Amino acid sequence: MPCTKPFNIDTSQPVLVTGATGYVAGVLIQQLLEAGVTVHATVRDPSQTERVQYLQDLADQSGSGTIRFFRGDLLQEDSFDEGMKGCGIVFHTASPFQLDYKDAYHDLVQPAVRGTQIVLHSASRTPSVKRVVLTSSCAAIYTDISECDAVNNKSLNEETWNRTASLDYQPYSLSKTLAEQKAWEIAGSQTAWKLVTINPSLVFGPGVKYHESSTSFSLMKQLGDGSMPLCPNMGMGMVDVRDVAAAHIAAAYLPEASGRHVLSGHNSSLLAMARLLSPKFPDYPVPTRAVPKPLLWLLAPYLPGGMSRRYVWNNINVEASFDHTKSVSQLGIQYRPLDETGADMFQQLVDLGVLTKK
């Protein structure tokens, strides 16, 4: 694992991973199993064994780790109690997310906050739990890249909280912010377990399977299938999913790990990623030219995906600046090169037949 700090992984107690079928959760589970850990994985319906067979296969291939599946519903109190029994660590990676929501509060914000409450209240009822690692997001730190100021060396870090998202603008970011704030509120009300959060920027890199509904996979697919002839020069932080998983494990087992951790290996842009991929995959229609910002601003209200003119103004042709110092110094994370992350993920889509030569 890309971690420079030595630490002992306690394999005598199982760990709980919520949202086990997610993109980050899959790679986290893979690394835990390879370390010999027993993983209690929660899913909505464990009786649908075909949906989790790929995770069972990871356990079988690991040679040392084992996995058990439990039901976990982010909207049902007590539903995580059974899976959490005997666990020393809880990795809460699950978060409800709907692209096609009708009501931002009821469909995004309320479920995210309520789900966090339910999982953490369960942790408080489980005497064996000593640490909770929460998968938060850089969305809980900022709404728009314009909140960075790379020119004047103003980077976003763990001290920053998102104060600009609203129910009307970037409600997903609002949901992540309020969910993490609720987690810290609950953590501060008890002393049985310690909370550590991981705040990744845009996650790329190969998953343990193809996650069709993932924004990360959708973006990478668009970069290679010809549907994006011109690329938005959208400033963003990027991080490899394997580094994110390793950071979760370090946050769980390093005694000194505490607080929030910005996980962002590279200050980059979607266009920069495309230009890294193009020479490596010359037979695929990877865009290397930017969409002019004025044109994108003009067309924004008519494009799929709900991009607003405000979003274009604040995120296109704006340089990202994230400070990952704490993740390096406290967790010992060594970030993979961005071209390796992109190439490995693109190659996975080629190998799976998701992308074909044009």
Just list the catalytic residues. 176
Q: How many CB atoms lie within 10 A of CB 300?
A: 18
- Find, among 71, 85, 87, 92, the residue nearest to 18 by Cα: 92
> Which tokens hold the place of 329?
């110094």
3-class DSSP assignment, residue 165: coil
The letter for the amino acid at 17 is V
Phi, psi of 240 (to 5 degrees): -80, 135
Within its chain, how far is the Cα of 351 from the centroid? 23
Q: 297-300, long-range: CB within 8 Å, 24+ apart, which pairs?
A: none
Angle at 236 between CA 230 and CA 242, to 5 degrees: 105
Those residues with Cβ within 8 angstroms of residue 197's Cβ, 6 or more apart along the chain or in another chain = 133, 134, 135, 136, 180, 183, 259, 260, 261
Decide: 99 and 26 in contact? Cβ < 8 Å.
no
DSSP at 150: G
Distance CA 54, CA 51 (A): 7
Distance in angstroms (rounded) separating the CA atoms of residues 196 and 206: 25
Amino acid symbol at 169: Y
> How far is it, in rounded angstroms, from Cα 71 to Cα 82?
8
Instruction: Specify the long-range contacts of residues 61-65, CB closer than 8 Å, at least 24 apart.
Output: 62/30, 62/33, 62/34, 62/36, 64/33, 64/34, 64/35, 64/36, 65/32, 65/33, 65/34, 65/35, 65/36, 65/37, 65/38, 65/39
